[in-house]
Each structure stands twice: as C-alpha cells, then as structure tokens.
Structure 1
Amino acid sequence: MIFPKALSIGDKIGFFSPSSPATVFAPNRFSRAKAYLERQGFELVEGSLTGCSDSYRSGSIQARAEELNQLIRDPSIRCIMSTIGGNNSNSLLPYIDYEALRKDPKIIVGYSDVTALLLGIYAQTGLVTFYGPALVASFGEFPPLVDETFQSFLDILCSEKSEYQYVMPERWTDVKVDWETQNTAKPVFSNEWAFLGCGKITGRIIGGNLNTMAGIWGSRYMPEIHSGDILMIEDSLKGIETVERSFAHLKACGVFDKVGAIVLGKHELFDDRGTNRSPLDVLLEVLHGQNMPIFYGFDSCHTHPMLVTPIGVQACIDFDNQVFQLQSPWLSGK
C-alpha cells in the first residue's frame, strides 16, 4: 500500500482530460468550476489538452497519456483531478508512468470512466486512489450542492484521520440541465439510504463505475477481487437491460461468491423501460436468493452532491446501526 500526502489549502491541483473534452464542450461550466476551487485557496494547473478536442475525445491516446504523465512527473502538483469521464480512459493504461507515481505518490481523483485509471493505478502500484469529484462535472455545479461535494473533498483529502464516518446528505439530484445555460441550482429530492443485511461487514473497498470496469476486466489493470471485499458499484444513464447484463457478468465471474458486501450507488437517470423496477430490484433478481448484504443509495456516484471514497482501504458497514465508515488510513501526513 502506498499513501499520497494529505492535501493542504494552497497546494497545486493539476487537471487532465483522459477521455471526453469537457473543457471544450462545456466552457462556461469549466470556467465556473476552476474559479470555485481557486476561491477555496487551491492553485489550478491545466493539463496540456485543456481547450483541445478530437471529436469524442480530447486527443490521441499518446497525447492523453502524455498529459497525465506530465502532471504525474511535476513534483509541485499534489493532486491530479480529471475534468470529466467519457468512454476511453482505459486506452491510457499501458502508457502511464507508474514508477514516477511510486516515487512521488499523489492524490488521483475522478469518477465514471476514470474508474479504469483509478483501479489500474492501484493495481500496478498499490497507491490508494479516490473515487470522487471531477473538475467540470462536479465543481461546476451551483451551491448548495457543490459546497457539499467540496466539504467531502476536504474531509477526505485534506485530513490525516485514519477513521471517517459518512453522513448522508439531506438532499440529492440527478436532474438533467443544459450545462452551458444553467444559472441556478438544480431541483433536489429528499435523500434515503437503505441497509439490507445485519451485523458488521469489514473489508477492502474496491470498485467504481460498473460499465467502465468491463473495459479492464481480466486484465492486469483490474485488481483481483479478494474474499471479503466490499464491492462499490454505480452506473449512469443506462437502461435496465444493460444493468441486468452488468450484474449478471459479475455473477458469472464469481464475484458475488467472494465479496462480503455490496455498496450500490445511486444510478443517474436510470431507465427502467417501464418496468417500475430499480437497480436494486435487478441486483436482487440476479442474486436469486444468495445471501448478500447490500448498502443501497450511497452518494459516491454521478449524482450531486458527491462523496469521496478511497479505493483499496478498509471500511466497515454496520447494517444494524446503518453506518458506513472508513477504518484504515488513506493518506500520509502533510
């Protein structure tokens, strides 16, 4: 296990675009997000593909890998954050400078398609990575939701604690708006978490975006699932048929025979195809009576606000008291 140093106000945060060119297709949201983090006291350093677009991606595979490696090799940068996800972050995995990360561990944070990088880096180096906000997608949102996301960012990434108990946000949203014309906060819903199980389950947190994991499954960039792991999975903008396929894939791979519990995040704009079934309903059908404790509705996903989750550290789900907490260090001292 390798732990990056805790972040301090005033540190440099480098941002990169490993897949979709969000700095190009959402310039207003990008500008708002950058200004937000700068107001919090951080210095933002742009990756070399900022403002660049090659249709569906920010640049070629080699150019995107080089953008990330430049930030990895810069000793002044203490946190590297993706601008957004997309579909092709897994293309970068053979070209990342893993040795530089071992020598100078940094906080790597993002979500969605960046799951491939978070898990690949963890698998290759043992570096704890963080499923958390992306610059444009997360910090371009309006208050109060963006403030709650930032508070989780501070709680996890600027702390030297070795334990942390998550608190459920009172409200959440997955309402779709035009990013470039949005000028007010999104409508919100009352929040609810569900704990299906009993007793305490302790294990290593592993996972991220389920659809993205399919792009590295079976490769050396997908960490081996260990007995007793806590599997965190979430998805976005998928139909129920795709979700069933993804869950069935996990079952076929024997994942449900190994893990101790599942954390199932909220699914942004889930399409139930008129069935009135939820992702939880689909998971329970695929499990087919198999005993599996499930924590449902966790807000480390595509919705707002977003809570930060370290990958590779020990956590505990107390189903009786409905508590989810981290129980081992995820950062070294500042």
Structure 2
Amino acid sequence: MVAPAAGTAALFPARLERGLRALRAVGLRPRLAGHARSRGRWTSAGVADRVADLHDAFADESSHAVLCTIGGRLSAQLLPELDFAHIAAHPKIFCGYSDITSLHTAIRSETGLITFYGPSLLGEWAEYPRPLTETVRHFLRVTGEPRAAGRIPFPHRIVRETVDWGADHRPRRAERAPTQRVIRPGRASGVLAGGCLPVLRRLVGTRWQPDFRETIAVLETPQSPYDMADAAEDLLSLSHAGVLDGARALVFGWPFRHEQLDDLEYAVRLALPRCDVPTVIGFPAGHTSPMATLPLGVRATLDGGALVLDEPAVRPRQDEPKSRPGRDQEHGW
C-alpha cells in the first residue's frame, strides 16, 4: 500500500485499519509502505520518499500488487524522478484512481504495462461497514483471473452520500442508479485508456501527454468544487491539444451528483461539437460508488452502452498451484 499523493491515511487511522481488514477478508495480505501513514502539508511525504516507496514496492518479490491508499494531488511531482526501467523490470498490478491518473499515464507511456484504474484503500476498501460487493467482485475478477473479464457490469444502485470519515458509523444511503445515456450510438474497439479529466488536462504539453489514438477513452470527473463547466474547459483543452484525435470511442463516468448528468451531457456537446465517435455518459468509473476496475491497456469493445473487456489483464502466476484453493483464499496474484 503506497501513498504517492495525499497523506490522508494519517488522519483516519480507524478507516485505514478497516480497509486493511477488508483486504484480508478476501484473502489478500496488505503491507504498508514506509510512508503510507506519513503526512506532509499537501502530500504524504517528500518526492524522494514517495519515489522510494514506489520503487521498493515494485522491486519487492514477495508482493504481487501495488495499491494506492488514496488520490489527492501532486503525484505528477514523481514522474521525472521515477525509474521506469525499474518498474518495467518488475511488473505488478498497480491500482488507484483520481490524481493517480498521472502515474497510470506515465507508466503506460514509458513501459507499456497494463495498470488498473480502480478502488483505493481509504475510499473504497474502507467503506463502512464493508466495501461494496460490486466494487470488490469486479476488482477481483479483473485482477485475479487470467481470462478476459467480459462485459463490465452496470450496477443497479449508486451511493452518492458523503460522510465524515472520522465519524462514519453507519452505511451510506444508496439510491437507484441513473440511466445511462448513449449520446452517439455505435460500436468500436480499441485499447482502454483514460482517467480523471482534470489530471489528464494537466499533463498536456508534458513528456507524458496522453495519447488516445486507437483507444476507448474513459474520462471521469472528481467531486465538488469541480463542476461540469470545468469539465467543458478541460475537454476543450484536450481537444485543442489533439489528445482526443484518433480516439475510437468516448465513455464518461457518472458525475458525483445526479443533478450534474444534464450538465455533463451539455459539456460534452459544447466542447466536442464535431466529435462523431460512439459516446456514452454515465458509467461506474472513478469517483463513484460502486466502482468498476478498468485495466488500462487492455483491448475492449464499446457496443451501444455495453463496455466489454476483450482480453485478460493479468497472466497466471508462475508458482500457481495446479489445484487452486477457493476464490476467497487465492486470486492468482
């Protein structure tokens, strides 16, 4: 467990422990990196310490995955200092979302490795009293089974209520999931790419500028104070920079608040008036609950509103036994 951005784990020790218990409950053995509990002013620790934690986590032959405690800000600080050859030489499941988009984009660009845009320790695994079943099942299916995961399930419920993480002693209220909107119908196949929209926009003009050619780009937005006018501006910036050129389809995650759906559709139509590729709004990706796990770099197909993962995201472990235990004890890592 690493903290490449915010040091939030230090503020909510009880929530941190609940997340660790949830990982153990599905048969995983979490271990905290050296600065996962640290807290600086805006980040968990300095650049050198956060980089060292990532390098050590990838080099650790006893671990099979590197999961992020939370997003936050300034993970892009690490990019010039990361040894991408070192990361490529020790491929592992790497999972996180939000500001971790910077790391996903750079690792993919520099190494070609598949990474996983999915649940964080504090945000999803530490949900009270336990993580949402839909989130856990899809994460384990995508990361733990060396076969194509198929259609990404569309949950029947959505949880939007915010709670104080220091006093979350009841389950958050769920409501019926909003209807998905197919605003430009069609079918397209390509490599899955994307992440958090404002983070992708901040990478424009850098060595790690996103490249969405021949991809299905999944774009999602953070919570307030970010709004859909911000999304329109970020989409416009990506469009002007040519980042969206050559994308085969666009998929937008649910906005955090239900009433933002109309504004998100308006933002897409306003910023991308000449876009003629299949486009869907309202998908369980990123800052939403339940959350799908997206293997960035895997080939996928969008057909209407269905997004299908067409190939495996992981390989079988070399030491995997011929007779495998039950899924609650072993996930092929």
Per the TM superposition, whether the score is higher than 0.5 is: yes
CA contact (8 A) 1:23 1:83 kept: yes
The 1:193–1:285 alpha-carbon spacing in structure 2 relative to 1, beyond 3 Å, is: same
Counterpart selection for 1:68 from 44, 49, 54: 54
Aligned match of 2:78: 92
Secondary structure, aligned partner of 1:45: coil
Secondary structure, aligned partner of 2:282: strand
Counterpart selection for 1:50 from 23, 26, 36: 36
Counterpart selection for 1:241 from 216, 229, 232: 229
Secondary structure, aligned partner of 2:222: coil
The code of the aligned residue for 1:303 comes to T
Aligned match of 1:217: 204
Task: After superposing the two structures, state which structure 1 stretch, 114-123 or 191-200, moved more.
Answer: 191-200
Aligned match of 1:118: 104
**Number of equivalences:** 314
**How many Å apart are 1:55 and its aligned residue?**
1.8
**How many Å apart are 1:59 and its aligned residue?**
0.7
Identity of aligned residues (%): 26
Taking the aligned partners of 2:220 and 2:229, their CA distance within structure 1 comes to: 15
Does residue 241 of structure 2 align to residue 253 of structure 1? Answer: yes
Counterpart selection for 2:23 from 18, 30, 37: 37
The 1:267–1:258 alpha-carbon spacing in structure 2 relative to 1, beyond 3 Å, is: same
**How many Å apart are 1:256 and its aligned residue?**
4.0
CA RMSD of aligned residues (A): 1.8
Secondary structure, aligned partner of 1:71: helix
Aligned match of 2:216: 230
Secondary structure, aligned partner of 1:178: coil
CA contact (8 A) 2:185 2:279 kept: no
Task: After superposing the two structures, state which structure 1 stretch, 194-203 or 32-41, moved more.
Answer: 194-203
CA contact (8 A) 1:260 1:292 kept: yes
The code of the aligned residue for 1:300 comes to A
Q: How does 1:1-334 map to 2 (within 5 A)?
A: 15-142=1-128, 146-191=132-177, 192-226=179-213, 228-237=214-223, 238-269=226-257, 277-319=262-304, 322-334=305-317
**How many Å apart are 1:289 and its aligned residue?**
5.0
The 1:223–1:236 alpha-carbon spacing in structure 2 relative to 1, beyond 3 Å, is: closer
Taking the aligned partners of 2:35 and 2:164, their CA distance within structure 1 comes to: 24
**How many Å apart are 1:195 and its aligned residue?**
2.4
The code of the aligned residue for 1:32 comes to R
- Once the two structures are superposed, residues 44-74 of structure 1 have per-residue CA deviations (whole angstroms, 9 ceiling, x without a partner) of 1111113211122111111111111111111
Secondary structure, aligned partner of 1:120: helix
Secondary structure, aligned partner of 2:30: strand
Task: After superposing the two structures, state which structure 1 stretch, 159-168 or 214-223, moved more.
Answer: 214-223
Q: List alignment gaps of at least 5 residues for structure 2.
A: 318-333
The code of the aligned residue for 1:312 comes to G
Secondary structure, aligned partner of 1:151: helix
The code of the aligned residue for 2:49 comes to A
CA contact (8 A) 1:121 1:221 kept: no
Taking the aligned partners of 1:283 and 1:178, their CA distance within structure 2 comes to: 32
TM-score of the pair, normalised by structure 1? 0.89
**How many Å apart are 1:222 and its aligned residue?**
3.1
**How many Å apart are 1:215 and its aligned residue?**
2.7
The code of the aligned residue for 2:197 comes to L
Secondary structure, aligned partner of 1:281: helix
Taking the aligned partners of 2:85 and 2:41, their CA distance within structure 1 comes to: 31
Q: List alignment gaps of at least 5 residues for structure 1.
A: 1-14
The code of the aligned residue for 2:287 comes to H
Taking the aligned partners of 2:28 and 2:183, their CA distance within structure 1 comes to: 40
CA contact (8 A) 2:190 2:216 kept: yes
- Once the two structures are superposed, residues 233-272 of structure 1 have per-residue CA deviations (whole angstroms, 9 ceiling, x without a partner) of 0011212331121111122123444212101001224886
- Once the two structures are superposed, residues 18-57 of structure 1 have per-residue CA deviations (whole angstroms, 9 ceiling, x without a partner) of 1111211222211110111112111111111132111221
Task: After superposing the two structures, state which structure 1 stretch, 324-333 or 112-121, moved more.
Answer: 324-333
Secondary structure, aligned partner of 1:16: coil
Secondary structure, aligned partner of 1:66: helix
The 1:95–1:177 alpha-carbon spacing in structure 2 relative to 1, beyond 3 Å, is: same
CA contact (8 A) 2:98 2:196 kept: yes
**How many Å apart are 1:101 and its aligned residue?**
2.2
